[in-house]
């Protein structure tokens, strides 16, 4: 596995993108809305990874609830794997809990999340890019 991206929840996506671009000298940004997760994202490209800024698009979004309870900040770390199905089965065998099943994510990926209580309070996303 490798770190695919670090996701940060923000109140105002456009403002946050401007701040990150200025502070970090980021030129390449992609925008996407993931309807199934109720989130609008900006993907900031770095040399060897990405930062994903996220803003909720509806009140029922898990990101909206996160913002209300915890405020802006680090949401999750995403790890890319070549075989998400195989990794999920292996990890479940270790007694690790997941939040939901494998489902579509941004940029044509398949994703699932490991429950933060299983990994010392850190939400981990597993993702697999379509081949």
Residue 104 contacts residue 91 (beta carbons within 8 Å): no
pLDDT at 131: 55
pLDDT in tens, 115-126: 999 999 999 999
pLDDT at 31: 97
pLDDT at 36: 86
pLDDT at 106: 86
> Which of 37, 24, 12, 32 is CA-nearest to residue 125?
37
The one-character DSSP state at 58 is S
* Residues facing residue 6 across a β-bridge: 51, 77
pLDDT at 87: 96
Give the residue ranges of the chain where pLDDT is below 50.
Answer: none
pLDDT at 79: 96
pLDDT at 129: 85
**Domains of the chain, first to last:** 2-128 (3.10.180.10)
Residue 104: count of CB within 10 angstroms of its CB: 13
pLDDT in tens, 63-87: 999 999 999 999 999 999 999 999 9
Residue 36: count of CB within 10 angstroms of its CB: 10
pLDDT at 18: 97
Residue 17 contacts residue 6 (beta carbons within 8 Å): no
What element of type H or E holds 19?
Answer: helix 13-24
């Amino acid at each position: 596995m490798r770190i695919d991206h670090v996701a940060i929840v923000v109140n105002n996506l456009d403002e946050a993108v401007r701040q990150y671009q200025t502070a970090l000298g980021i030129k390449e940004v992609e925008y996407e809305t993931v309807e199934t997760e109720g989130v609008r994202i900006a993907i900031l490209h770095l040399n060897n990874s990405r930062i994903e800024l996220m803003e909720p698009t509806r009140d029922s979004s898990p990101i909206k609830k996160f913002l209300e309870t915890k405020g802006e900040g680090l949401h999750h770390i995403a790890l890319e794997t070549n075989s998400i199905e195989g990794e999920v089965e292996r990890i479940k065998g270790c007694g690790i809990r997941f939040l939901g099943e494998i489902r579509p994510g941004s940029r044509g990926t398949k994703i699932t999340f490991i429950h933060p209580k299983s990994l010392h309070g850190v939400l981990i996303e597993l993702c697999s890019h379509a081949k």
